[in-house]
Amino acid sequence: MSHFDLQEFGEAASYLRKPELELMARHTIPFDGKKRAWIPDDKEAYIAIEIREFSGDKVVVETKDGKTVTVKEGDIQQMNPPKYDLIEDMAMLTHLNEASVLDNLRRRYSNWMIYTYSGLFCVTVNPYKWLPVYTAPVVAVYKGKRRSEVPPHIYSIADNAYNDMLRNRENQSMLITGESGAGKTVNTKRVIQYFAIVAALGDTTAKKGGTLEDQIIEANPAMEAFGNAKTLRNDNSSRFGKFIRIHFGPTGKLASADIDIYLLEKSRVIFQQPGERSYHIYYQIMSQKKPELLDMLLVSSNPYDFHFCSQGVTTVENMDDGQELMATDHAMDILGFLPDEKYGCYKIVGAIMHFGNMKFKQKQREEQAEADGTESADKASYLMGVSSADLIKGLLHPRVKVGNEYVVKGQNVEQVNYAVGALAKATYDRMFKWLVGRINRTLYTSLPRQYFIGVLDIAGFEIFELNSFEQLCINFTNEKLQQFFNHHMFILEQEEYRREGIEWTFIDFGLDLQACIDLIEKPLGIMSILEEECMFPKATNSSFKAKLYDNHYGKSPNFQKPRPDKKRKYETHFELMHYAGVVPYNIIGWLDKNKDPLNETVVTCFQKSANKLLASLYENYIGSDSASDPKPGGKEKRRKAASFQTVSQLHKENLNKLMTNLRSTQPHFVRCIIPNETKTPGIMDPFMVLHQLRCNGVLEGIRICRKGFPNRIFYAEFKQRYRILNPHAIPG
């Protein structure tokens, strides 16, 4: 691309590629490849050195500040000549090693070039600031261009997927993965914006609310208000996974779209960690930007008046909750929500705020709770369209099934508070699913659809101090996605070897992750033991743990006893060898989280609610104990009850559907990298970045994509290299 062509990018040019003259100047810098190299360093991860002399397996080197150091020969990594500085595709590096890949990403990042190719996929580093690289002129330049003709960009990946779809007549997918705060959601939005512009129908017969392009774009702010929150790592963190399918007609014009969602983090509805917030919608409502909402919901504008949304922080720097409320409200209008539907959602949010303020106290000399004032219950009931007396009675004296009989059972304060929390979480979760279903109804059209491009935005591997059931579900998902990635990369590459007639022993690298996947999902795996325990009324944490150890300890290499670690704050019950590393899990509360029990007396009360939306959220509720219901018409009941599902069963089912969907597509991979813990623009923590490169197979992916690579490599060397880079992936 000539200097003149760069001008087409306007102000974005300097963020995408250096001028030709500057690049040519690098070819003239003197460089001695035999002397210049990298060695490991405690602060920088790798530092540049000059080799002075070799003695046996030791090497004497000099650092840039003149120090002389002796290192092992195996610690030396070769350096690439200056002409490779800022290279756009790291598969083209002469010396492909961790130090060179890290150095290239660091140099590009310090020039605000956040997109870089590494063989088949695109790596992007979160800049933590706005860059002018997503404007309409930039979209225009990327349209219809081959990857090699333009600088690296998410638009290039999107455009290639679009053109592959039309050319190969095949569905496509874009897998946008990375840790929390790495930029997945922003890149997902850019991809959707790109398709909406490039494939716009441009028709004047707009649908109710807005054009299909507008509606596809506005689905995001609507979902973000109810499904995103501030966390320590990310001010706008998606607390759910999503797979957005955009359907195109036979000529490549937009036809419709639909969204599948995975695992909303329900616990946030009633509890937040220090420094975190609940879902944005709460603070948007309290922003006073639409004062009529405060009146309608009987709430104040002070989040600290409401227990459920004030356990962490209540504001986010650089986020104007009032403006965000207007964006949410506008999005729902463009999506064609009726006033009843829109205000129905707001009312449920308000009701949950009052729900969390209900107070209960223990009756004297009794194991029975009673209401400590009814003001909050009255407000919640008013918004929920139920009787306050029925709500309180249902919480304090629920009807519970014992054998084939129903009995009224007393509750102590702890039990009532638990029931209140569970109902609040379930109601919010059901409302969010309804909201996404409602968006899908709008995005459906009767236009003929031929192909789709699916965009997956899902949490990456999570390894926290406390890893619970939610982390197991997320890490299991990632194990499967990484297997899909490996299989795609390695199998495709090896098929090419075969076509070229290279002598080759075929190996399925996808199988390397199979042991861990089987351990979690196969019969008698972790999830099936959990499901089995959920069927025994007397099961406990101890009985669950004992079954895990009986079935897997000493038999599954991926299942380990926790290693002693004095620095650990939380107890660890077992460790799993995941692709991304060893994760310590704590099993407290898994049985309840998986069964997700609700106070069914209150659910019945909700089912009869005058609030149409609330009643519809629970109309198909199937309780865990309705399997042998003695009511009239029992046969129908029993058939329905068979479909009561635990959280793990539902997650496995959804995940299998996703994998089937992905396997029917040609995939494109985008790896998002979080550069530092403090959300600071331009700063790169080298160890943090290296950890992510190792976790998501970036380095091995580059190796696989090397030009001419197949002709030089033999299986043993291939496997050896793979094992060095991914120590957890291949046992032994």
CA-wise closest residue to 184 among 501, 608, 481: 481
Token pair, residue 25, equals 């100047």
Question: Is residue 500 annotated as involved in ligand binding?
Answer: no
Residue 624 annotated to the active site: no
Name the CA dihedral angle for 683, 689, 692, 694, rounded to a multiple of 10 degrees.
Answer: 170
Q: Rounding to the nearest 10 degrees, give the CA dihedral for residues 91, 92, 93, 96.
A: 30
> Is 460 known to be catalytic?
yes
Q: Tell me how far CA of residue 471 lies from CA of 462, 468, 475, 590, in angstroms.
A: 6, 5, 6, 11
The two structure tokens encoding residue 258: 């639909």
* Token reading at 372: 């400590």
Three-class HEC string of 346-410? HHHHHHHHHHCCCCEEECCCCCCEEECCCHHHHHHHHHHCCCHHHHHHHHHCCEEEECCEEEECC
Q: Which of the residues 98, 118, 181, 218 is marked catalytic?
A: 181
- In degrees rounded to 5, what are phi and psi of residue 413? -60, -40
Q: What is the DSSP string of 72-114?
A: EGGG-EEPPPGGGTT-SBGGG-SS--HHHHHHHHHHHHHTT--
- Rounded distance between C-alpha atoms, residue 627 and residue 56, angstroms: 74
Q: Which residue in the block uniquely carries the two structure tokens 């509360």?
A: 589
Residue 185 marked ligand-binding: yes
Q: What angle do CA 552, 475, 571 make, to 5 degrees?
A: 60
643 is catalytic: no
User: Of 191, 207, 206, whose CA–CA distance to 246 is shortest?
Assistant: 191
Structure tokens at 625: 């104990």
554 is catalytic: no
Are β-strands 115-118 and 45-55 bridged in parallel, bridged antiparallel, or unpaired? unpaired
Choice among 210, 227, 421, 460 that is catalytic: 460
Q: Which of 185, 256, 417, 427 is catalytic?
A: 185
Give the DSSP letter of residue 118: E
Q: Is 183 labeled as ligand-binding?
A: yes
Q: CB neighbours of 348 closer than 8 A, spacing ≥ 6?
A: 383, 384, 427, 428, 431, 611, 613, 614
Is 462 a known active-site residue? yes
Q: For residue 405, count other CB atoms closer than 10 A to its CB.
A: 8
First to last CA, the chain: 47
Residues 6 or more apart whose Cβ sits within 8 Å of residue 390: 605
178 is in an annotated binding site: yes
Tokens linked to 670: 């985008």
* 28 is an annotated ligand-binding site residue: no
Q: Give yes or no: 682 in active site.
A: no
- Helix, strand or coil, per DSSP, at residue 26: helix
Q: Is 179 annotated as a binding residue?
A: yes
| Annotation marks residue 648 as catalytic | no
Of the listed 156, 234, 556, 646, which one is catalytic? 234
**202 annotated to bind ligand:** no
Do 154 and 122 touch, CB atoms closer than 8 A?
A: yes
- Amino acid sitting at position 380: A
- Which residues partner with 362 through β-bridges? 369
Q: How many helices (H) and strands (E) does the chain have?
A: 28, 21
C-alpha gyration radius of the chain: 28
Beta bridge partners of 457: 176, 242
Active site residue: 14, 63, 163, 180, which one?
Answer: 180
The reply to whether 182 sits in an annotated binding site is yes
CA distance 584 to 575: 4
Please report, to the nearest 10 degrees, the dihedral formed by the alpha carbons of residues 194, 195, 197, 202 taken in order: 180
Instruction: Assess whether 478 carries a catalytic annotation.
Output: no
Exposure letters 576-614 (e unless 16+ CB within 10 A, then b): bbbbbeebbbbbeebbebbbbbbbbbbbbbbbebebebb
Q: Catalytic residues, which ones?
A: 180-181, 185, 234, 237-238, 460, 462
Binding residue ranges: 178-185
Binding residue ranges for ATP: 178-185
